[in-house]
Amino acid sequence: MSARYTPWVWSQEHNQFYCASYNAYNQLIQYHWSSAAGGPPGGAPAPAREEPRTVPETTYPPQTGYPSASEPPGAYTPQPTPALLPWDVQETVGGDKPRRLIKTAQDGREHETLDPRYARVIADHIPFFFVRGRVFKMLWIEPAGQTNPGQTRGSTHFSVVTWGETAYAEIRRFIVVNPKGTFSQCIPIQTYRKQGALKPGLLVQDHGVVYTSIQNTPPPPLLFGEGITKQPIRVEPKGNEWLHRESRINFGKPYAVEHNVKVMEIGMVAPEHMHLLESYFESAMRT
């Protein structure tokens, strides 16, 4: 089966050209590297220039099968510390702002010790990964000194770690709704400790069912007494990544996630449900 290649890009960090190859199903096969003096792999286009560039929108591969942080081409080098998000952006995320602005840890490492598959997306492929409908998970960390730290926990992976001081760490899942250059506006996916939207104090009208399926199969049923009225949203999974049956989207609680945090891809919202993601989010922001 013949492979399709993306245009060659010069990596300043690695001092090499690289491109990605895809199969007929738009699934990433591998990254290819070639020095300026060497030739490209057979069937790939020749390097066009020796300067970093942004790939034009017309050359983007389809949304399924984008290169992601779960499939890095090799070891990464630390990136510069990003600037803080502007205050006007912080004001738009709403809620408890210090806990809704998610940035990379300043530890100089590219992989979390929790799982080496969590990694930063290569800089030139950020426009491919952070697109509307992308579903990913990341390591969420906050100081242990906050009051009632478990109130917003939806993940069963909750632990206490020591990185200089005691902190709470868990895995959080998000859907990209609005890419914005150096960060994306994302909405969270939580099970609320498998209570779904039955958890006391939730705004049920802001929540919806989200589930993973490789084809258009029926969604899992609502929990008994759960008053969700929104249509379920299907996610096409990446590899063996799946969402829990009790997973719920909170359309009314957007977060600003910087693009250099360490992530692992879960999948992509199914094309037939993308309009639901957009309309439900816009509706929640108007109320």
The DSSP secondary structure of 211-247, one letter per residue, reads: EE-SSSPPPPPPPTT----SPPEEEEE-TT----TT-
pTM: 0.59
Measured CA to CA, the distance from residue 228 to residue 221 in angstroms comes to 11
The domain ranges of the chain are: 1-62, 67-74+87-286
What is the predicted pLDDT for the residue at 35? 56
Give DSSP secondary structure letters for 119-130: BPPPGGGHHHHS
Q: At 102, which amino acid appears?
A: I
Write down the pLDDT at residue 18.
75
Model pLDDT, residue 143: 63
Q: Block means of pLDDT (10 residues each) for the chain, length 287 residues? A: 70 70 65 60 48 32 37 36 40 49 54 73 93 93 55 43 61 95 95 94 95 89 94 94 96 94 95 95 92
In this structure, are residues 111 and 118 in contact, taking their beta carbons and an 8 Å threshold? yes
E strands along the chain, which residues? 4-5, 9-11, 16-22, 28-34, 101-102, 134-143, 158-162, 166-179, 183-190, 207-212, 233-237, 248-250, 255-258, 263-269
pLDDT for the residue 187? 98
Residue 235's identity, in one-letter code, is: V
Distance, CA of 207 to chain centre:
19
Pairing relationship of beta strands 134-143 and 4-5 according to DSSP bridges: unpaired
